[in-house]
Amino acid sequence: MRESWRWFGPSDPVTIDDIRQTGATDIVSALQGIPTGEPWSIEAIEKHQALIERFETNLTPLTWSVVESIPVHEDIKLARAGHEQYVDSWIASMENLAHCGIKTICYNFMPLLDWTRTNLAAPVARGGTCLRFDAIRMAAFEIHMLGREHATDDYSPEVCAKAAVWFQQATEDDREALLSAIMAGLPGAFDRYDIAGLREALTQYDGIDRATLRANYKRFLQEVVPSAQDLGMRLCVHPDDPPRDILGLPRIVSDCEDISWIMQAVDTCANGLTLCSGSLGANRQNDVPAIAARFADRIHFAHLRNVRKEPDGSFEEAAHLEGDTDMVALMRVLLVEEARRRDAGRTDHAIPFRPDHGHEILSDIGRDLVPGYPLIGRMRGLAELRGSASALALAPPTNTSSTAMKL
């Protein structure tokens, strides 16, 4: 497996030299400063690539091997008139990345928000902080701050009651912090909304249900996957985070059935999956190792992180080997798939993965880091995953009782 690390560009407090010291060999990155819908030029890609892959004597080289991500314009998701120009831009970016030798693109099709958390620095019992999604605070936001019609239908009566209490007791600073945490999930660096602005932004999805969003997504896949196949590119959709409808917006990449539908919509290897164990793991119905085993031949990239779920729908980021997902079983699935690809002579047999959403611990604390992307916390996760992979590689399984291996 190829150990990779997400880098947010020159403004990232975690530098390329820092990453080199973690032992990672590959970089996952994107052109952060280009507005959604504009094509990435070869010149811009090569400039960013040079920052990552610069050669210096006696320094281990790094490779920009995965793009995360080329944002999909909202007009594409809504199939608005004229959205074809944004599809053309997306394909142009893909062509230019292929020209520069970068062949794997992670992307998502989540309406409006890329991910949602209610606390970007929830305390951890051992010390440090983590990302957290609190169902009570999210309900308070939707019902009492946003005033979304029918929001109570999406939460249990008990959660709604506790949300009302939280809202009544919350200070203005508490409410502003909640809004800020939720807004952190907006893609790119350009749009941030106040309550009125978010209400307005959500109206564009009025009348867009699950079936409509699926149809629009299938159209997008039919438009871009043939070009990806011709270019030798690997597209890999990222699951919804969290894997449930939110803010009245439909989510269509949340479980095994959704993934099966996507893979069949354009049934070719170029149309693949980013296996995000944390996103899928936040859905109580998802057996993540089993999902990985079922779609192993279409996994082009993996986000390895863990979550700990709570009965009311809340969850928070756990240490990589300590959450609800059996991470060792999951890694076994990926290693078996790598061996299968290697035996089949595939040049892309090594699956890139990155340790995702580590805890902020030790010297991470107090630094102005990208939420969920600390240095020490992710390095701890990478070390745990590296150790697990090394142990599994020493004794490759032939028969196992793992649910994943039975599929």
Q: What is the DSSP string of 395-407?
A: S--SS---HHHH-
Instruction: Report if pTM > 0.75.
Output: yes
| pLDDT at residue number 57 | 76
Q: What is the phi/psi pair of residue 183, to 5°?
A: -70, -20
| pLDDT at residue number 402 | 42
| pLDDT at residue number 191 | 63
User: What is the maximum span of the chain, computed from C-alpha positions, in angstroms?
Assistant: 63
Any catalytic annotation for residue 357? yes
How far apart CA 146 and CA 176 sit, in angstroms, is 12
Task: Report whether 299 contacts 263 (CB < 8 A).
Answer: no
How far apart CA 137 and CA 214 sit, in angstroms, is 29
How far apart CA 276 and CA 288 sit, in angstroms, is 9
Query: Is CATH 3.30.460.10 what the domain over 2-114+208-406 is classified as, yes or no?
Result: no
Any catalytic annotation for residue 48? no
Helix (H) or strand (E) holding 272: strand 271-276
| pLDDT at residue number 347 | 87
Any catalytic annotation for residue 238? yes
Q: Residue 108 class from Cβ within 10 Å (0-12 exposed, 13-18 middle, 19+ buried)?
A: buried
- Catalytic one among 73, 300, 357, 359? 357
- Catalytic one among 48, 83, 303, 320? 303
The residue ranges of every structural domain in the chain are: 2-114+208-406, 119-203
Q: Name the amino acid, one letter, at 305.
A: R
Any catalytic annotation for residue 144? no
DSSP letter, residue 132: E
- Catalytic one among 276, 300, 320, 326? 276
How far apart CA 163 and CA 138 sit, in angstroms, is 8
| pLDDT at residue number 189 | 45
- Catalytic one among 48, 238, 300, 359? 238
The structure tokens 């959205």 sit at: 83
Each residue's pLDDT expressed in tens, for the chain with a length of 407 residues:
999 999 999 999 999 999 999 999 999 999 988 999 999 999 999 999 999 998 777 889 999 999 998 999 999 999 999 999 999 999 999 999 999 999 999 999 999 988 999 999 999 999 999 999 999 999 999 999 999 999 999 999 999 999 999 999 999 999 999 999 999 887 654 567 899 999 999 999 999 999 999 999 999 999 999 999 999 999 999 999 999 999 999 999 999 999 999 999 999 999 999 999 999 999 999 999 999 999 999 999 999 999 999 999 999 999 999 999 999 999 999 999 999 999 999 988 999 999 999 899 999 999 999 999 999 999 999 999 999 999 998 875 554 434 444 43
End-to-end CA distance of the chain: 22
CA distances for 20 relative to 52, 105, 318, 390, angstroms: 10, 22, 25, 20
How far apart CA 312 and CA 182 sit, in angstroms, is 19
Task: Report whether 141 contacts 113 (CB < 8 A).
Answer: no
CA atoms within 13 A on the CB side of 238: 29
| pLDDT at residue number 401 | 39
Any catalytic annotation for residue 356? yes
- Catalytic one among 26, 240, 255, 356? 356
Which strand ranges, in their side-by-side order, compose the sheet holding 129-133?
Answer: 119-123, 129-133, 315-318, 306-309
How far apart CA 104 and CA 26 sit, in angstroms, is 12
